[in-house]
Amino acid sequence: MDRLTIVKVGGKVVEEPELLDRLLDDFVRVTGYKMLVHGGGKAATQIADRLGLETKMVDGRRITDADMLEVVTMVYGGLVNKRVVAGLQSRNVNALGLSGADLDLIRARKRPVEDIDYGFVGDVENINTRELRLLLRENVVPVVAPLTHNGKGLILNTNADTIAAHMAIDLANHFKVFLFYCFEKRGVLSDPLDDNSVLPELNESEFLRLQNLGTISSGMIPKLQNGFKALHSGVSEVLVTNPENFSRGRGTRLLRG
Amino acid sequence: MDRLTIVKVGGKVVEEPELLDRLLDDFVRVTGYKMLVHGGGKAATQIADRLGLETKMVDGRRITDADMLEVVTMVYGGLVNKRVVAGLQSRNVNALGLSGADLDLIRARKRPVEDIDYGFVGDVENINTRELRLLLRENVVPVVAPLTHNGKGLILNTNADTIAAHMAIDLANHFKVFLFYCFEKRGVLSDPLDDNSVLPELNESEFLRLQNLGTISSGMIPKLQNGFKALHSGVSEVLVTNPENFSRGRGTRLLRG
């Protein structure tokens, strides 16, 4: 099978022009088919703030009321996505920006209200990569914003790590998929206070142990849960790394079993 | 050749949920291949206003400084575009939102500063519909936002009427193209004060005569210039109409010669 590299990059990296430039310079050097999944939370918070809207987060997840849904639709689907696309086009990469509504790529269900009402947040229900695969074969590079739709006209806000995992799992039926989660640190740390304590490898039982110890916490937990799910569902390799190191394959490699 | 219908809709129609719903209900009934080009100026003005940015217009064209470029990128490429796409998907139309940067669809040059500095406004230089045509054949319905790029990483603001004409002309090499310009009135009026004075047909010499008389003025002038250019460059039919009547083929039909 052909190789497909999926790079997920967090908010900060795509929001600061210098960091974005460096990321894209590295990304264009990735050989084989490739795609990018991006966040944009920091820019969304900034724009919300300028619009006089308060950003409420619970466990690192954004509460998305109707006004905030407008903001994330604008910022993720417009501002951030088109900047990345234009940046790739300037590097002769034929990028195509997509939300989950485009090409019916990602259908989601509005999260049911339990203890917390997350508002217009979508849990992924279905992935359709038919047209996306056709485009990949034409050397188009998809750039996916963390937005989904419910098939009834409603856009929903969905975590970018989750989207990257679902896309990777679906595309693993057609490609040998390498999934890179890029964030601020060089990998998963064995000591949260020491940025150099990067674990070269991590399996799921060790992850659960470190989670119980509190060594791994907050936003890293869903990222790793998504990563292990992908690894157990046909994805060839999952690496947690940062934008400076992903192209060298350095970081924390998730291990099966 | 296969039929391709390009419908250009102005800002108001895509920005008010009820009008948008009605438009999309009509649009899905258009047979054959089809695409939508949309504006979004009113929403951009509103968001700019909420962000404390002043909107400056010259002859109906928006002065686009760096801050306003952010706004139009967000609003056209994100907010408006994704709403239209999600609305079409809910009607089982496989829509794909595109800016001119996506798939390298529309390259433009930043308008040189002469009497007026329009800022980040792009004049169309090149259209690339290779991937778009592939997608049309797969029954994908493109939804194009009025944004272009310069190939060097810069997004530019470009008039939606102009984009519709350029796309129509390029695609006329591959399809029998019908171009519908939808705006507030039922067509071109012979008496600007009488909404019922719709001209059923208009040729270019009559257009120039009415323009000299001042009967046709402001935003209608570039719309008709674009329409006649399209008609003289291979497009089969150009109709100036409103969202309620385009699907019935009613409005002002532009005539050759």
Contacts of A154 in chain B (CB under 8 A): 86
Contacts of B81 in chain A (CB under 8 A): 77-78
How many cross-chain Cβ pairs, A to B, lie less than 8 Å apart? 133
Comparing CA positions, the residue from B84, B42, B50 lying closest to residue B67 is B50
Contacts of B155 in chain A (CB under 8 A): 82-83, 86
Sheet with A106-110: list strands edge to edge. A122-127, A106-110, A147-149, A155-157
d(CA A195, CA A193): 6
Indicate yes or no: CB of B140 within 8 angstroms of CB of A131.
yes
d(CA B29, CA A98): 25
Q: What angle do CA A256, A170, B84 make, to 5 degrees?
A: 140
Q: What angle do CA A47, A49, A50 make, to 5 degrees?
A: 65
pLDDT at A119 over 70: yes
User: Residue A229, CB half-sphere, CA atoms under 13 Å: how many?
Assistant: 16
Q: Tell me: the pLDDT tens digits for A126-185?
A: 999 999 999 999 999 999 999 999 999 999 999 999 999 999 999 999 999 999 999 888
The reported pLDDT for the residue numbered A11 is 66
What chain B holds in terms of domains, given with CATH numbers, is 3-255 (3.40.1160.10)
Asked if A116 has any chain B CB less than 8 Å from its own CB, the reply is no
Contacts of A140 in chain B (CB under 8 A): 103, 131
The reported pLDDT for the residue numbered B69 is 98
Exposure string over B27-57, b if 16+ CB within 10 A, otherwise e: beebeebbbbbbbbbbbbbebbeebebeeee
* pLDDT class of B77 with cuts at 50, 70, 90: very high
| Chain B interface test: which of A81, A94, A137, A144 (most B C-beta within 10 Å) | A81
d(CA A38, CA A180): 12
Q: What angle do CA B201, B206, B211 make, to 5 degrees?
A: 115
A85: distance to nearest CA of chain B, Å? 6
**DSSP per-residue codes, A221-240:** HHHHHHHHHHHTTT-SEEEE
CB-CB neighbours of B214 under 10 Å: 8
Q: Are B40 and B80 in contact (CB under 8 A)?
A: yes
Give the mean model confidence (pLDDT) for residues A31-39.
96
Asked if B47 has any chain A CB less than 8 Å from its own CB, the reply is yes
Write the secondary structure of A151-205 as one string of H (helix), E (strand) and C (coil).
CCCCEEECCHHHHHHHHHHHHCCCCEEEEEEECCCCCCECCCCCCCCECCEEEHH
| Chain B interface test: which of A18, A104, A107 (most B C-beta within 10 Å) | A104
pLDDT at B12 over 80: no
B155: distance to nearest CA of chain A, Å? 7
* pLDDT class of B98 with cuts at 50, 70, 90: very high
Q: Tell me: the pLDDT tens digits for B117-134?
A: 999 999 999 999 999 999
- Mean pLDDT score of chain A, rounded to an integer? 95
- Mean pLDDT score of chain B, rounded to an integer? 95
pLDDT at A110 over 80: yes
The reported pLDDT for the residue numbered B60 is 75
d(CA B111, CA B120): 7
Q: Are A195 and A130 in contact (CB under 8 A)?
A: no
Indicate yes or no: CB of B131 within 8 angstroms of CB of A94.
yes
Asked if A110 has any chain B CB less than 8 Å from its own CB, the reply is no
Comparing CA positions, the residue from B192, B199, B208, B203 lying closest to residue B250 is B199
Indicate yes or no: CB of B74 within 8 angstroms of CB of A74.
yes
Contacts of B149 in chain A (CB under 8 A): 85-86, 89-90
Top-confidence residue, A41 or B144: B144
Asked if A47 has any chain B CB less than 8 Å from its own CB, the reply is yes
| Chain B interface test: which of A24, A69, A82, A157 (most B C-beta within 10 Å) | A82
Q: Tell me: the pLDDT tens digits for A74-105?
A: 999 999 999 999 999 999 999 999 999 999 99
Indicate yes or no: CB of A78 within 8 angstroms of CB of B83.
no
Give the mean model confidence (pLDDT) for residues B228-236.
98
Q: Is B103 exposed, middle or buried (0-12, 13-18, 19+ CB in 10 A)?
A: buried
The reported pLDDT for the residue numbered A19 is 87
Q: Tell me: the pLDDT tens digits for B140-196?
A: 999 999 999 999 999 999 999 999 999 999 999 999 999 999 988 899 999 999 999
Q: H or E segment at A82?
A: helix A81-89
* pLDDT class of B11 with cuts at 50, 70, 90: low
Indicate yes or no: CB of A74 within 8 angstroms of CB of B76.
no
Asked if A133 has any chain B CB less than 8 Å from its own CB, the reply is no
Portion 137-156 of B in contact with A at CB < 8 A: 138, 140, 147, 149, 151-155
